[in-house]
Structure 1
Amino acid sequence: MNSWERAERLDADHLTDALYERTGVRLTVEGPCSGGQVGAAYVRWAHGRRSVLKWRPRTARSDLESGPLAVCEALRGAGYPCPATELTAQVGHAVVHVQELLPGAPIHLMDEDGLDQVLALNDLQAGALKAHPGVPSARLYLTRDGPGFCLHEPLRRHSRRTAELERRVRDVGARHPDVLRGDDALHLDFHPGNLLHVDGRITGVVDWDGAARGDRRLDLVTLRFGLHAPGRQSGPGVVERLDALLDALPADVLGPAWAHMSLRMTDWAVRHFTPDEVRHWLDLAERRLG
């Protein structure tokens, strides 16, 4: 167990103790979720069933329940493979919640059949929140900073090329609203690492922490950026097919959605990764913002 895993284990142990004090439910921590996902750990109930413990700092339980958890429940009612929420509690400034552990492993190679399944899931997101008016709309942050992501200043400072990208993002933001209107369910981190499969069949979509209301086609733009991630693989024709679908979208959908993901991924790379990875994301971003 490395130092990060030890720190994560201590956090999870502390939170399960606090959860026991508030609910009387005792959970045993097994360790961080695979992939090093921050804020999530595998836990086991007294009767042996395994689940996923998640926590969100500086969050009110009511906000989580009226936002991401409401999105998941609406989609589950339509047969969408979202994890069920099994337990939720406020622990200080954080919300701790326990979710169903879905079967499967993340998709490492997106093939044509996988893309067909993803597009079918995206269709299920259409209008899923019409009966849930309290779910907030997703913001794009094209002209102002997001809460810890989609930051503009790192792009302005990093290089002439990133500064030009940031200027183009703001230009898109000046011409379009900061939300994509609609009653669709949005995942907002819809990439292959959050899609689980067993023998090629998608069995779950996880990590709904940013879920919100909007236009589901934003998730397809997110998927396109996800397929561009270093080390990510896709089968012959998959990227080309997805590009053709995106190019057929209305300009007032594709433009803001592409600008959002361009800002989001380039900013993150500037602050956390190497110059080569910054160039990697710029190469994709500039294809539709050039």
Structure 2
Amino acid sequence: MNTSAPQRWARAERLDADRTAAAVHALTGVRLVVEGPCPGGEVGAAYVRWPDGRRSVLKSRPGARIEELRAGPLAVCGVLGARGYPCPATELALQVDDAVVLVQELLPGTPVEFLDHRGLDRALALNASQAGLLTEHPQVPSVNLYLLDDGPGYCLHEPLRRHGPRGAALERRIRSVGAGCPRLLAGHDVVHMDFHHGNLLAVDGTVTGVIDWDGAGRGDHRFDLVTLRFGLHAKEQPPGVVRRLDDILDALPEEILRPCWAHMSLRMSDWAIRHFAPGEVEHWLDLAEQRL
């Protein structure tokens, strides 16, 4: 289980790579050979090969407009790439009916399953480097926390309200936090929005890249540390890693930690209620209640 990008959660159909590659060929004349699905993720992506033999990753964003991606996630990745941040370059982006199809650089490494202390050090350093990068890029939208209203297919409030007294109480606390803070996350930092360890790539234990920037936007980069904490809750990690991250979160200003924690509590609890077994729902409610 991972915390998966909200945009993928909202549309659970799996990528039809062959049909998507055929659409790319019809629109551009470029014939991509589909090699197979990439590992991990709720919806997934596919490895493809260009006519010159290069390998890349094929993705599709149903319900998206290319103009929105160019102003948001693609712009963010452009800023990061110019700074040497290890995020994949977008090699092709086009509108195919109601979806945006992306072909992105294939970074070296495989998804991190267990985050050790060296990996956490690298994740913290990468996160810190996201600070202030969007000051001169006002077109990038700010992150919406959805603490008072529903997100587009995720961060839904009604499932919590209907999930017995415990879920209803959590939803009331989330709305209480939302009533006391801005709707949009403040700041001019890059926010990945799905910065969990499964979106970190590594080779021989060394983190080599960060993938899945589909939901990236503007805000406070420390939001991503809260996302990382929720991601680590999915399965037991090496000793001391979670404790270290908890200590960092506990030192954050309340006006930063509380709304970010409320958002992730809503996001994961809602999704677990609608898609996971009952025992797993309690697992996420346990974590949500730690700081709410």
Question: TM-score scaled by structure 1?
Answer: 0.94
2:155 alignment partner in structure 1: 150
Shift of 1:8: 4.8
Shift of 1:39: 4.8
Describe the SS at the equivalent of 1:239.
Answer: helix
Listed as ranges, the gaps of 5+ residues in structure 1 are: 1-6
1:251 alignment partner in structure 2: 254
Residues in 2 aligned to 1:193 and 1:268: alpha-carbon distance in whole angstroms: 18
Matches within 5 A, 1:189-208: 189-208=194-213
1:209 alignment partner in structure 2: 214
Confirm whether residue 82 of structure 1 aligns to residue 87 of structure 2: yes
1:141 alignment partner in structure 2: 146
1:179 alignment partner in structure 2: 184
The alignment-based identity, stated in percent, is 66
The 4+ residue runs of structure 1 with deviation greater than 4 A are none
Shift of 1:234: 2.1
Confirm whether residue 288 of structure 1 aligns to residue 291 of structure 2: yes
Equivalenced residue count is: 280
Residues in 2 aligned to 1:126 and 1:153: alpha-carbon distance in whole angstroms: 34
Matches within 5 A, 1:12-27: 12-27=17-32
Q: Which amino acid aligns with 1:163?
A: A
Shift of 1:36: 5.2
Residues in 2 aligned to 1:72 and 1:190: alpha-carbon distance in whole angstroms: 14
Confirm whether residue 237 of structure 1 aligns to residue 248 of structure 2: no
Which one scores higher on RCO, CA 8 angstroms, separation ≥ 6? 2
Listed as ranges, the gaps of 5+ residues in structure 2 are: 1-12
Matches within 5 A, 1:1-16: 8=14, 11-16=16-21
What is the aligned counterpart of 1:50 among 55, 64, 69?
55
2:46 alignment partner in structure 1: 41
Residues in 2 aligned to 1:283 and 1:233: alpha-carbon distance in whole angstroms: 15
Q: 1:279 and 1:143, CA in 2 relative to 1: closer, same or farther beyond 3 A?
A: same
2:35 alignment partner in structure 1: 30
1:193-247 C-alpha deviation (Å, 9 max, x unpaired): 1000001111110111100000000000000000001xx3422211111111111
1:136-195 C-alpha deviation (Å, 9 max, x unpaired): 001000000000100000000111101100000000000011122111001101101100
Question: TM-score scaled by structure 2?
Answer: 0.93
Q: Which amino acid aligns with 1:235?
A: P
